[in-house]
Structure 1
Amino acid sequence: MRRRPRGTGVAPRHLAGWLFADLFLVLFLVVLGMVASDGTDEASGTGKSPKPSVSPSGASPSPSRTAKGPLGLDPQRHTFAVSLSSGATGRASGKGTLNAADRKKVVAALDKEIRKSGDDRRIGMVITFGVAPQAQLGAATDLAEDVNRILKSERPQAFCGGNVGTRPFWSGGSADRVEIELYYINACEGQG
């Protein structure tokens, strides 16, 4: 029987981070589900009539303010990947940033995904994975964080306010790539 040499595989502390991320996501979805009203008054068991939303001009609500399902975060994730220029992961390490061409790629990929799956909704949460070998774990996480900053600064109108959760993570694989998961919010106050 052969034994694996010491130091191979994924360290348990890295798995703990993934577990924390998964638990955070579940907790986030539970809280949003509790905050969203289902139209039932729990004390009396009667239905409440929803208040119609009226724009400041008094006109009827725009189609983008209409909920596309239950209020809150849509649990359906929309994933897309962006391949960046050679060395992008290394350049993002520490306080580095993506070059102009890579910034354009990331923003164009976001725009394409929103046109494809957005249905006039805004983004409620973004999880970005910097893809790189384990030896570049820190740089890949920095890359993911930089991509999240770029998305929010270049397309603020795509997000449901400035308080949208963005999380950077690492995923193993070939360097210089990011995988982005978008979660839309079905109704965003001030959307329109």
Structure 2
Amino acid sequence: MVRNSLWLILFSLLILEGSLIHWLIPDSWQQSVRISSNFMLIIILYIGLYLNRHSALLYGLGFGLLHDFVYFGHILGVYSFGFGLVGYIAGLLPRRQTNLIFTTLMTMGVGVLIFEIIKFGINRLFNIVTVNFQFAFTHIMLPSVLFNMLFALAVYIPMRKLMEALQGQGSRAEH
């Protein structure tokens, strides 16, 4: 039952990202910067940090592809590739300090930044975006990283407890 909660959380965040999140960002911010909420990526990063890299890769590929289909961009597979890669990279980090909030939040911030750079790079490669990297970094990537780090901070305690419960469930199943 606990394992199914990850699917439910990620699916509900998929729905919320397209419907309610735009109401949370003030209109004055939306005129000067573009903030993309990648809340599913935050949960995938938690999966990579607390469970394992293979689960994060599979959740990232699956829900990234679902994100690509639901919110069809110009190219299919950008979110799937980015979510899977960043989740896998987060799973490669050493596990000795995953209980510290600072290291977890910095991992979330760097993960979202890597994803934003991947997304910008692929879109720039196929001439979908024409802005330069400096403008994209200051007006799109950094605000998105800060906004997503606020979400990561807000869900830190519940996600850590859920991941610890999943770790305990996995270790009981092995014995």
Taking structure 2 as the reference length, the TM-score comes to 0.32
Taking structure 1 as the reference length, the TM-score comes to 0.30
Decide which structure has the larger Cα Rg and report it: 1
More strand by share: 1
